[in-house]
Amino acid sequence: MVSAFDANRRLALRDWAGVAAALDAQGWTTLTSLLAPEECDALARLYGKDEGFRSRVIMGKHGFGRGEYRYFAYPLPSLVEALRSALYSRLAPVANRWHEAMGMDVRFPADHSAFIQRCHEAGQTRPTPLLLQYGEGDYNCLHQDVYGAHVFPLQVAILLSEPGKDFDGGEFALTEQRPRMQSRVAVVPLKKGDAVIFAVNSRPVQGARGSYRVNLRHGVSQIRAGHRHTVGIIFHDAA
């Protein structure tokens, strides 16, 4: 069991000024060893259980790629719930600064429960944290996790499997499209237990005439061998 206190204590050790600077510079950054190996294994094992999930998605049926994922139901697993709340409170200042720079009126409360209440009042009541499972030949097409009118502009994915041991291939990739420029691709190096924080759909970039928006998408390259599990922490709920 991971309490809110444990999650906050774990995150308090991180350099959040450095995290914010990296997010501003490139739209993503990593938190190494956020989860212990046994925590990763415990989360990955949940995939084979029927309870605790609200739906299962087979990617190939919807043109999303190959592989599958399951959305958690409320109440979320304690570890996921604690990290979702603790991460949100540290990322909300970045989200508010980004919205201001992009000329967007929406601001985010400091407490995640207040933001979830806003989502629910607008009809976005379905939880969005999810567990993804990939096998050999599977991949995830480039996409954005939006789900409704209320969107928190950052999200987190945590790798639960060990590259080179549990699977080969399966790199986490991001593309960034700037106006009148070709797309820029980033391949994020992750090990088991590492988290990547990244922009959901857009972020501000400083130009000669002020800030402008750039569009981002994320996905996973083809798994060459083995199996890969990931937990995704999305801060807004779905309609």
Condensed to tens digits (0 to 9), the pLDDT of residues 98-135 reads: 999 999 999 999 999 999 999 999 999 999 999 999 99
| 79-101: average pLDDT | 97
Q: Give the model confidence (pLDDT) of 27-76 as tens digits.
A: 999 999 999 999 999 999 999 998 999 999 999 999 999 999 999 999 99
pLDDT beyond 90 at 212: no
State how far the Cα of 133 lies from the Cα of 99, in Å rounded to an integer. Answer: 33
State how far the Cα of 58 lies from the Cα of 67, in Å rounded to an integer. Answer: 6
In sequence order, what are the residues at sequence separation of 6 or more whose Cβ sits closer than 8 angstroms to the Cβ of residue 223?
Answer: 67, 134, 135, 136, 137, 138, 139, 167, 168, 169, 170
**Cα atoms found within 13 Å of the Cα of residue 31, Cβ hemisphere only:** 25
Q: Tell me if residue 82 falls in helix, strand or coil.
A: helix
CA 60 to the chain's CA centroid: 21
What pTM did the predictor assign? 0.95
- 178 or 108: which carries more pLDDT confidence? 108
State how far the Cα of 77 lies from the Cα of 234, in Å rounded to an integer. Answer: 14
| 147-171: average pLDDT | 98
